């Protein structure tokens, strides 16, 4: 379905279109210790309970609670020490009536013992341990499965392998994990004015910064970026570069050439290559001058060339798709309400996305807009970790206004 270039879709409409696109994800097995930040490609269940045996939570004495039921300071109870159990050891003998085993943190409880008394509460007298108070049965014992019971799901398909998740899989003795392959995403910058870093700067030209900018975000969100450098605003060169990028990657991101200028050939070229334009130009600023197209089973996201707008287009529109392409179960960004910390004068009626820094101050989520919100600006964006959505309307937004923000 081709569509008119003048009709602007809303972000909701654009998101709905991207959300519906089917995608085939590939999986691979990686070493557990290489899996940080990856996404589980299947539910992972515990093969063993952790711990798999009852163990001592403290350095102390393993006893039968029954034996200490009458222990008081006036009439302490003396128990014969059977042996000393280090972590990792297995008791040679059971703890019978009148006996106690010296036991260290993490050591398996000897048969017969049901309770641990911390050593700080015990007097050690040669072959005897002297107890002057009782403890509830089971006290200070780490029960079987206290952390994980065999068979429970440790990680669901689509969840991130955080450090704690990797740790809990290591506790199972797992050495490998099945994850989604990282999708490869081409980044292609277009514009006659663009120079690659390392080239001599000449009048009228600028260094391309979008490749460097986008690569960073793609890495941050778990994608494998492939930079394809710059291509001029020439239809044939553009068509060739797009074809190559589409063949070699799971998705293509371009910058530049999606606006209404004389040399903005992106949409036209994609159509000529046989791609479907899913939308072109969205109703928000900055970055609404963007398109999405589908070629076979691949998405092409055509972002604005203006670095600020390009960043917003990627983060605001493209990110959920990218995260879904990585296999994430919940690819949407968190949306919260924050307190606007500086007045913002809207100069246009339409929807505007503010880049800013979100933080917690006195228990409240606050949002500081970055100082330069212009399309071309990224230098003040270094601290940007949130996008605020300012809906239709022209009135200035006062400091203290509650606004919706997306946390990046």
Q: Which residues bind Mg ion (CB under 5 A)?
A: 191, 256, 305
208 contact choice in Mg ion, ligand AMP, none (CB below 5 to 8 Å, kind-dependent): ligand AMP
Select from 93, 137, 109, 111 the least CA-distant residue to 51: 109
Nearer to ligand AMP, 329 or 374 (CB): 374
DSSP assignment letter at 160: B
Select from 294, 262, 263 the least CA-distant residue to 278: 294
- Residue 242 within binding range of ligand AMP, rule CB under 6 A: no
Given 47, 52, 206, 334, the residue binding ligand AMP (CB under 6 A): 206
What's the closest the beta carbon of residue 306 comes to ligand AMP, in angstroms? 4
- Residue 194 within binding range of ligand AMP, rule CB under 6 A: yes
Query: Could you give the CA distance from residue 17 to residue 139 in angstroms, rounded to a whole number?
Result: 57
**Residues 312-351 as x/- pattern, contact with ligand AMP by CB under 6 A:** ----------------------------------------
Select from 307, 303, 335, 300 the least CA-distant residue to 321: 300
Query: Could you give the CA distance from residue 49 to residue 152 in angstroms, rounded to a whole number?
Result: 9
The total of other beta-carbon atoms located within 10 Å of residue 43's CB is 12
Select from 298, 303, 106 the least CA-distant residue to 187: 303
Q: Which stretch, 6-14, 83-91, 204-212, 339-347, contacts ligand AMP (CB under 6 A)? A: 204-212
- Residue 308 within binding range of ligand AMP, rule CB under 6 A: no
What's the closest the beta carbon of residue 238 comes to Mg ion, in angstroms? 11
Measured in residues, the chain has a length of 408
Nearer to ligand AMP, 56 or 210 (CB): 210
307 contact choice in ligand AMP, Mg ion, none (CB below 5 to 8 Å, kind-dependent): ligand AMP
- Residue 261 within binding range of ligand AMP, rule CB under 6 A: yes
- Residue 210 within binding range of ligand AMP, rule CB under 6 A: yes
What's the closest the beta carbon of residue 282 comes to ligand AMP, in angstroms? 14
Query: Could you give the CA distance from residue 344 to residue 271 in angstroms, rounded to a whole number?
Result: 39
Given 300, 304, 313, 326, the residue binding ligand AMP (CB under 6 A): 304
What's the closest the beta carbon of residue 192 comes to Mg ion, in angstroms? 7
Query: Could you give the CA distance from residue 96 to residue 101 in angstroms, rounded to a whole number?
Result: 10
What's the closest the beta carbon of residue 239 comes to ligand AMP, in angstroms? 17
Q: Which stretch, 56-64, 87-95, 122-130, 299-307, contacts ligand AMP (CB under 6 A)? A: 299-307
Query: Could you give the CA distance from residue 159 to residue 329 in angstroms, rounded to a whole number?
Result: 6
Query: Could you give the CA distance from residue 309 to residue 375 in angstroms, rounded to a whole number?
Result: 5
Query: Could you give the CA distance from residue 288 to residue 74 in angstroms, rounded to a whole number?
Result: 82
Nearer to ligand AMP, 174 or 207 (CB): 207
Buried b (16+ CB within 10 A) or exposed e, 65-94: bebbeebeeeebbebebbeebeeeeebeee
255 contact choice in Mg ion, ligand AMP, none (CB below 5 to 8 Å, kind-dependent): ligand AMP
- Residue 172 within binding range of ligand AMP, rule CB under 6 A: no
Nearer to Mg ion, 256 or 288 (CB): 256
Select from 19, 24, 18, 11 the least CA-distant residue to 294: 18
CB 115 within 8 A of CB 133: no
Between CA 113 and CA 119, with CA 118 as vertex, the angle to 5 degrees is 105
Residues making contact with ligand AMP (CB under 6 A): 189, 191, 193-194, 206, 208-210, 255-257, 259, 261, 304-307, 376
């Amino acid at each position: 379905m081709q569509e008119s270039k003048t009709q602007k879709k809303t972000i909701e409409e654009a998101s709905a279109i991207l959300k519906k696109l089917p995608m085939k994800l590939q999986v691979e097995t990686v070493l557990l210790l290489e899996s940080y930040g990856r996404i589980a490609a299947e539910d992972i269940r515990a093969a063993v309970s952790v711990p798999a045996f009852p163990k001592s939570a403290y350095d102390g004495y393993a006893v039968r609670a029954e034996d200490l039921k009458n222990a008081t300071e006036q009439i302490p109870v003396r128990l014969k020490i059977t042996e000393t159990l280090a972590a990792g050891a297995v008791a040679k003998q059971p703890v019978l009536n009148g006996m106690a085993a010296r036991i260290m943190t993490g050591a398996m409880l000897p048969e017969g013992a049901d309770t641990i008394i911390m050593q700080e509460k015990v007097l050690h007298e040669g072959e005897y341990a002297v107890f002057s108070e009782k403890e509830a049965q089971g006290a200070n014992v780490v029960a079987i499965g206290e952390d994980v019971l065999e068979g429970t799901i440790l990680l669901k398909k689509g969840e991130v392998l955080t450090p704690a998740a990797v740790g809990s899989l290591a506790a199972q003795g797992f050495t490998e994990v099945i994850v989604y392959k990282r999708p490869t995403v081409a980044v292609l910058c277009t514009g006659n004015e663009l120079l690659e870093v390392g080239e001599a700067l000449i009048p009228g030209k600028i260094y391309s910064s979008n490749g460097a900018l986008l690569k960073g975000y793609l890495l941050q969100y778990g994608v494998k970026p492939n930079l394809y450098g710059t291509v001029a605003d020439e239809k044939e060169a553009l068509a060739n570069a797009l074809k190559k990028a589409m063949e070699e990657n799971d998705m293509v991101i371009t910058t530049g050439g999606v606006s209404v200028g004389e040399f903005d050939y992106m949409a036209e070229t994609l159509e000529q290559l046989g791609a479907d334009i899913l939308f072109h130009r969205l109703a928000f600023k900055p970055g609404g001058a963007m398109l999405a197209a589908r070629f076979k089973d691949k998405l092409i996201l055509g972002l604005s060339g203006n670095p600020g707008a390009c960043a917003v287009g990627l983060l605001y529109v493209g990110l959920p798709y990218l995260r879904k392409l990585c296999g994430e179960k919940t690819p949407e960004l968190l949306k919260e309400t924050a307190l606007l910390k500086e007045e913002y004068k809207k100069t246009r009626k339409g929807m505007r996305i503010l880049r800013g820094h979100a933080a917690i101050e006195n228990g409240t989520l606050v949002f500081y807009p970055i100082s330069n919100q212009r399309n071309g600006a990224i230098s003040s964006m270094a601290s940007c970790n949130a996008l605020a959505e300012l809906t239709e309307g022209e009135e200035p937004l006062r400091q203290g206004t509650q606004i919706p923000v997306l946390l990046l």
